[in-house]
Amino acid sequence: MIVTDQTGYKLELEGIPQRIISIVPSQSELLWDLGLRKELVGITKFCVHPDEMYRKIEIVGGTKKLNMDKIRELKPDLIIGNKEENEQSQIEELRKEFPVWLSDIYDLSDAYDMISSLGEITSKQEVAREIIKHIQENFAQLDVSNFKGKKAAYFIWYDPFMAAASNTFINYLLGKLGIINVFSYLSRYPELNASQIKSAAPDYIFLSSEPFPFKEKHMEEFRQICPDAQIMLVDGEMFSWYGSRLQYAPAYLESMNLK
């Protein structure tokens, strides 16, 4: 069958995939939750959820540094990646030998489409519909009264400082909370200096657990830059994983102790 991924790329599958490699953590977890325990033969070193999957499934490198020889050894009949998280040059190399399906996620609608599409490709449509239903129900019940109108900066990297700006899934989720992203006038993941951060005057500074693992020791530097802001370490998976983990994101977001 011919299927089209979220970048508009058409790929041909001989049937329902029996040997799948996922090179994106949130999508690996989704495939596991869809029930593809036997079909999933390869994941990256960052695909840590669930732990059973991480311990059992073959590792094929990192999201941006794939082990091409290991992938060839596993002989996948489908590779699932993401436009942002994987390197274009490696995707192009893989496409010369294997069917590669890429997601391209900017909002919940894109996430639902990705989950539905992978459910259809793998013949797990019913489970995919249930996951989407749970995500939709939980977001519909999300109480944003504590967040609305507040200004925030969400940092993903240290040295240089990098924040999530417009045209990102993180920015979309901040907007779902009614939070104003102080760097939404910039694109994607801009590098910032202390002066820019101070001038933005955020009410909150969110320091993500990934891709850079911010810790308590980094908070003081931000306090020096923005002494009036509330500095928080946040679970990056809840802001940027767009697979089945989205079922738990609303409860986490509501639990954030914003003052």
Token representation of residue 169: 């899934």
Write out the CATH class of domain 2-139.
Answer: alpha beta
User: Looking at domain 151-255, what is its CATH homologous superfamily?
Assistant: Nitrogenase molybdenum iron protein domain (3.40.50.1980)
Token representation of residue 132: 């989407």
| Mean pLDDT value across the chain | 96
Give the closest residue to 134 by CA, choosing from 254, 27, 36, 246.
246
Examine domains 2-139 and 151-255 and report if their fold is the same: yes
Whether the per-residue pLDDT at 137 is higher than 90: the answer is yes
Q: What is the pTM of this model?
A: 0.95
- Helix (H) or strand (E) holding 192, with range, is strand 191-192
- Locate the domains of the chain by residue range: 2-139, 151-255
pLDDT of residue 147: 87
Token representation of residue 121: 């490709």
pLDDT by residue (tens digit) across 45-101? 999 999 999 999 999 999 999 999 999 999 999 999 999 999 999 999 999 999 999
- Percent of the chain scored above 90 by pLDDT? 95
pLDDT of residue 232: 96
